[in-house]
Amino acid sequence: MAEQNNAIYLDYHSTTPVDARVVDAMLPYLRENFGNPASRSHAFGWTAKAAVDLAREQVAQLLGAQPREVVFTSGATESDNLALAGVAARYRHSGTHIITSQIEHKAVLDPASALEKRGFQVTRLPVGADGIVDPEAVREAIRPDTILCSIMMANNEVGTIQPVAHIGRICKEMGVFFHCDAAQAMGRVPVSVKDAAIDLLSLSAHKMYGPKGIGALYIRRGRPWLRLEPLILGGGHESGLRSGTLPVHQIVGMGVAASLAGEELALGHELERQQRLRDRLLEEITNGLDKVHVNGSMEHRLVNNLNISFDFVDAEALMLAMPQLAVSSGSACTSATMEPSHVLMAMGYSRERAASSIRFGLGRFTTESDISRAVELVVGCVPRLRELSPFYRPAP
């Protein structure tokens, strides 16, 4: 196994390293400013509460929201669960139908399946080979008893960016709440919850150079009123929606990470750099190998994402053959199942193509040298593995 300090990290969709500026901001709240923000009678609590309030403002600014619309959670998975289960429990009297897509993260698909066991009906919309949800399919799926539509902003495997603003307008027009899992999009795609008519939005700090274990759920305030039933009870924290002592240092880290992400989006230089590196990676791999396929739309895609299938190569075998390169096959959250990607299967690809796919995720600290080494490893390992296949024939 390669030593970690010699490895090339191209798995930024799985998680990101915590930015040094984020770490610096967090440390005082692990040491001298260790108070509980719920302690209202002394300076330790006041200092902690002020830090949480600032972080809430920073996260809200990234979303184009109001601070009071941000509820801190343990991450996007909890936020997704709270959005789906919270709406279902609160509005069951209005309807029991939920719409989502076949390529959502398991943090949405699994709660949806759990709700089915409790009497709800779930429509899982298909996608084409480009990995895009058709907004008009959402319109057609809405019924009088539909209470919620949950469509992700950017897919965690193939990076496809969904037309959420169009979907949001349809949901608003037809009186259906719209939830969006935006964990992969934050800091990579400009987000305005108001412009996109989003009612609920999930995000996670560790996908944007913040700490693990902290996330948030945006919950729109105002008419039409939106109320959720909480998942966690016991103290009434976060406006009664998420009880538990707030992890101030993690919240501070998420706030700074959100602020830095907003700055990068405004400037644009870093995202342009990542796209150039991504395009170089694709060009040099396809120049060095035949029978290589990009999965999903290249036009509507996160600039740091590349999902490629290598014919006649098992993705797990390829990753084992190049331990110096940190990439993944499918979602990091479900890779332990060893099943072909549900996303690629939903896009109509064969099991063989899905099983031969590798996800490359670039990020803030990816260098030109990283790309050169990654290309060298991939182009060197794929032919050796193909020699083991009785079906592979080199292109003439």
- Any residues with CB less than 8 A from the CB of 136 and at least 6 apart, and which? none
| Rounded Cα gap, residues 366 and 119, in angstroms | 47
Q: Cβ–Cβ contacts within 10 Å for residue 353, how many?
A: 19
Backbone angles phi, psi at 5, to 5 degrees: -75, -5
Give the pLDDT score at 389. Answer: 84
Give the relative orientation of helices 269-288 and 368-386 as an angle to the nearest 10 degrees: 30
Q: Is the pLDDT of residue 388 over 90?
A: no
- Residue given tokens 């999965």 in the structure block: 295
Find the mean pLDDT for residues 56-64: 98
Torsion 87-345-381-363 (CA) sign = negative
| Rounded Cα gap, residues 213 and 205, in angstroms | 8
Q: How many Å is the Cα radius of gyration of the chain?
A: 22
| Rounded Cα gap, residues 332 and 304, in angstroms | 16
Lowest mean pLDDT: which of 20-24, 111-115, 233-237, 294-298? 233-237
**Mean pLDDT taken over the chain:** 95
Hey, what are 210's tokens? 């913040």
Grade residue 1 by pLDDT with cuts at 50, 70 and 90: very low
Give the pLDDT score at 331. Answer: 44
Angstrom CA distances, 297 to 75, 332, 360, stand at 28, 21, 15
Torsion 326-328-334-336 (CA) sign = negative
Find the mean pLDDT for residues 268-282: 97
Give the pLDDT score at 6. Answer: 82
**Given its phi and psi angles, is residue 241 left (phi above 0), alpha (psi -120 to 50 degrees) or beta?**
alpha
Give the pLDDT score at 5. Answer: 67
Find the mean pLDDT for residues 266-280: 97
| Rounded Cα gap, residues 197 and 382, in angstroms | 45
Give the pLDDT score at 391. Answer: 74
> Are the C-beta atoms of 55 and 22 separated by less than 8 Å?
no
Q: Identify the structural domains of the chain with CATH numbers, from first to last.
A: 4-17+268-386 (3.90.1150.10), 20-265 (3.40.640.10)
Q: Cβ–Cβ contacts within 10 Å for residue 211, how many?
A: 20
| Rounded Cα gap, residues 374 and 371, in angstroms | 5
Find the mean pLDDT for residues 282-310: 97
Find the mean pLDDT for residues 225-232: 93
Give the pLDDT score at 118. Answer: 97
Give the pLDDT score at 394. Answer: 74
**pLDDT tens-digit map of 131-144:** 999 999 999 999 99
Q: Is the pLDDT of residue 334 over 60?
A: no
Find the mean pLDDT for residues 358-386: 97
Is residue 333 part of the annotated active site? The answer reads yes
Find the mean pLDDT for residues 205-215: 98
| Rounded Cα gap, residues 296 and 349, in angstroms | 10
| Rounded Cα gap, residues 328 and 359, in angstroms | 5
> Are the C-beta atoms of 282 and 294 separated by less than 8 Å?
yes
Percent residues over pLDDT 90 in the chain: 91
Grade residue 332 by pLDDT with cuts at 50, 70 and 90: very low
Q: Is the pLDDT of residue 105 over 70?
A: yes
Q: Is the pLDDT of residue 382 over 90?
A: yes
Q: Which of 82, 84, 77, 118 is nearest to 99 (CA)?
A: 84
Q: Cβ–Cβ contacts within 10 Å for residue 153, how many?
A: 25
DSSP secondary structure letter of residue 123: E
Q: Per the residue annotation, which of 149, 171, 180, 333 is the catalytic one?
A: 333
Q: Is the pLDDT of residue 330 over 90?
A: no
